């Protein structure tokens, strides 16, 4: 195989031909759509199956894992090639459920910290659409302070035995593997006693319970781990050094759609913000001449443009090492707040139809749902408050927040439900 990187124009032609011949038009949908009660389980499973199929088609066409090294089944190309693919997939279906968290942060973490054997086993399987991964991070005791994990792994010969509970994993019931942060040492301060493991979700001892939300959605899951046995070969990184992995894991998570491993078709409103562009909502609501509506449309457009520029600027800064990798928190904070504002603007523009609609209202029916779900963008993937902390403390070097558990063995840290 030639070591020369494929020319961008040739790559574009190849990607375009593939998309035209194989991919269906995109269905309009928000990421938070995963948490709507709009589909039956059968429909959800059929969508998951189709996304696995599309991922496999991309793999067979040498269009999967654009920035993943060829050794692990990827294309070994550049972020510029990934951007071209994003453009050529515009308004086409794509394997949305694979992007987060399977490609980023999990595939990124595997590439950075996985053993050679783990990478060879899992990365090609992910790229072929055979493995969908979930993050086993948040626990019932809290999600922001990830390093305070209570789920415990105890060594038993060549195996580990895991007990505890993880929660808020979206879609764990149709996923294959989990990347799990667990406590392996209670006698050292919290950040020094963690280890990361690979868990097949159907392993004996893992019970996946679906959480029913007020709107009827059952996509969020809670997992109960009872004496789950994990071979030491499925440990990622060194024992008790899980926070080294965890810190980078959070960076990759905050990069989100800006990660070079993620495919996000350009112009696919289903992934970027309100379900329908706000100018279209203003038009449907008959408000294009209304000066107040024009102000709101302008504001939404500004947020869109600033968000795009920020992603490019910070992404480049991190890649070229002119910015700290912790700067991914800037993108995360802006994206969360901008999403809330954009969905609020859409709701305002839609007028009464945003709150009560008939089927003929078509696109506008989603506006009220988007508005009700808007806060999700400030919570999922770590809260915007935590992103603000990272920016002040780790990017700008301001004093660290006062904590009472830093130098104390984790066992002695007071907690509501003692272990």
Ligand X SMILES: Cc1cc2nc3c(=O)[nH]c(=O)nc-3n(C[C@H](O)[C@H](O)[C@H](O)COP(=O)(O)OP(=O)(O)OC[C@H]3O[C@@H](n4cnc5c(N)ncnc54)[C@H](O)[C@@H]3O)c2cc1C
Closest separation between CB of residue 375 and ligand X, Å?
A: 8
Q: Are 206 and 173 in contact (CB under 8 A)?
A: no
* Interface positions with ligand X (CB under 6 A): 101, 134-135, 137-138, 142-144, 166, 168-170, 376, 379-380, 382-383, 385-386, 389, 401
- When the beta carbons of 77 and 376 are compared against ligand X, the nearer one is 376
Structure tokens at 295: 């102000």
- When the beta carbons of 172 and 293 are compared against ligand X, the nearer one is 172
- When the beta carbons of 195 and 353 are compared against ligand X, the nearer one is 195
Per the listing, tokens 């509970």 go with: 165
d(CA 135, CA 179): 5
Closest separation between CB of residue 207 and ligand X, Å?
A: 16
Q: In the complex, which residue's CB is closest to ligand X? A: 143
Structure tokens at 290: 């209304």
Closest separation between CB of residue 340 and ligand X, Å?
A: 13
Q: Are 330 and 310 in contact (CB under 8 A)?
A: yes
- When the beta carbons of 127 and 376 are compared against ligand X, the nearer one is 376
Closest separation between CB of residue 221 and ligand X, Å?
A: 9
Closest separation between CB of residue 398 and ligand X, Å?
A: 13
Structure tokens at 159: 């195996």
- When the beta carbons of 217 and 327 are compared against ligand X, the nearer one is 217
Of 228, 47, 233, which Cα lies nearest the Cα of 122? 233
Closest separation between CB of residue 54 and ligand X, Å?
A: 21
- When the beta carbons of 251 and 376 are compared against ligand X, the nearer one is 376
Closest separation between CB of residue 177 and ligand X, Å?
A: 12
d(CA 129, CA 52): 5
Closest separation between CB of residue 220 and ligand X, Å?
A: 7
Closest separation between CB of residue 351 and ligand X, Å?
A: 28
| Side-chain-side CA neighbours of residue 404 (13 Å) | 4
Chain centroid to Cα 230, Å, comes to 25
What are the residues facing 160 on neighbouring strands? Answer: 155, 230
- When the beta carbons of 67 and 386 are compared against ligand X, the nearer one is 386
Q: Are 96 and 22 in contact (CB under 8 A)?
A: no
d(CA 85, CA 101): 20
- When the beta carbons of 115 and 392 are compared against ligand X, the nearer one is 392
d(CA 393, CA 400): 6
- Quote the Cα angle for 33-38-40, to 5°: 120
What are the residues facing 198 on neighbouring strands? Answer: 179
Structure tokens at 332: 């995360």
DSSP 33-95: GGGSS-S-HHHHHHHHHHHHHHHHHHHHTT-S-TTS-GGGTS----HHHHHHHHHHTTTB---
- The three-state secondary structure class of 329 is helix
- When the beta carbons of 244 and 383 are compared against ligand X, the nearer one is 383
Q: Are 137 and 166 in contact (CB under 8 A)?
A: yes
d(CA 165, CA 137): 10
Structure tokens at 338: 């901008």
Closest separation between CB of residue 353 and ligand X, Å?
A: 26
- When the beta carbons of 106 and 293 are compared against ligand X, the nearer one is 106
- When the beta carbons of 165 and 184 are compared against ligand X, the nearer one is 165
Indicate the Cα dihedral angle 72, 100, 274, 356, nearest 10°. 140
């Amino acid at each position: 195989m030639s070591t020369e990187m494929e020319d961008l124009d040739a790559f574009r032609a190849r990607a375009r031909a593939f998309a035209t011949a194989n991919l269906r038009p995109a269905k309009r949908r928000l990421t938070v759509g995963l948490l709507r009660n709009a589909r039956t389980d059968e429909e959800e499973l059929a969508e998951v199956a189709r996304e696995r199929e599309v991922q496999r088609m991309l793999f067979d066409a040498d269009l999967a894992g654009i920035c993943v090294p060829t050794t692990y089944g990827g294309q070994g190309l550049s972020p510029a090639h990934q951007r071209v693919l994003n453009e050529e997939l515009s308004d086409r279906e794509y394997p949305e459920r694979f992007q987060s968290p399977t490609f980023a942060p999990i595939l990124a973490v595997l590439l950075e910290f996985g053993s050679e054997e783990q990478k060879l086993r899992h990365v090609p399987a992910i790229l072929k659409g055979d493995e969908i991964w979930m993050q086993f991070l948040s626990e019932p005791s809290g999600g922001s302070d990830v390093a305070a994990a209570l789920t415990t792994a105890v060594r038993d010969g060549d195996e580990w035995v895991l007990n505890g509970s993880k929660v808020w994993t979206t879609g764990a019931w149709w996923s294959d593997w989990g990347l799990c942060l667990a406590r392996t040492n209670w006698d050292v301060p919290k950040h020094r006693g963690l280890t990361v493991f690979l868990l097949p979700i159907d392993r004996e001892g893992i019970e996946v319970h679906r959480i029913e939300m007020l709107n009827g959605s059952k996509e969020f899951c809670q997992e109960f781990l009872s004496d789950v046995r994990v071979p030491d070969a499925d440990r990622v990184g060194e024992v008790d050094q899980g926070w080294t992995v965890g810190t980078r894991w959070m960076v990759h998570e905050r990069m989100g759609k800006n990660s070079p491993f993620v495919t996000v078709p350009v112009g696919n409103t289903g992934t970027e913000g309100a379900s329908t562009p706000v100018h279209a909502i203003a038009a449907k609501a008959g408000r294009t001449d209304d000066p107040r509506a024009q102000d709101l449309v302008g504001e939404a457009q500004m947020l869109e443009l600033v968000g795009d520029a920020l992603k490019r600027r910070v992404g480049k800064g991190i890649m070229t090492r002119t910015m700290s990798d912790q700067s991914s928190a800037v993108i995360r904070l802006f994206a969360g707040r901008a999403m809330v504002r954009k969905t609020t603007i859409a709701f305002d523009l839609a007028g009464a139809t945003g709150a009560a609609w008939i089927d003929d209202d078509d696109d506008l029916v989603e506006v009220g749902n988007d508005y009700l779900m808007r806060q999700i963008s400030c919570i999922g993937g770590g809260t915007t408050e935590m992103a603000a902390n990272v920016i002040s403390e780790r990017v700008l070097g301001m004093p660290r927040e006062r904590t009472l558990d830093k130098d104390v063995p984790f066992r002695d840290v007071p907690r509501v439900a003692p272990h």
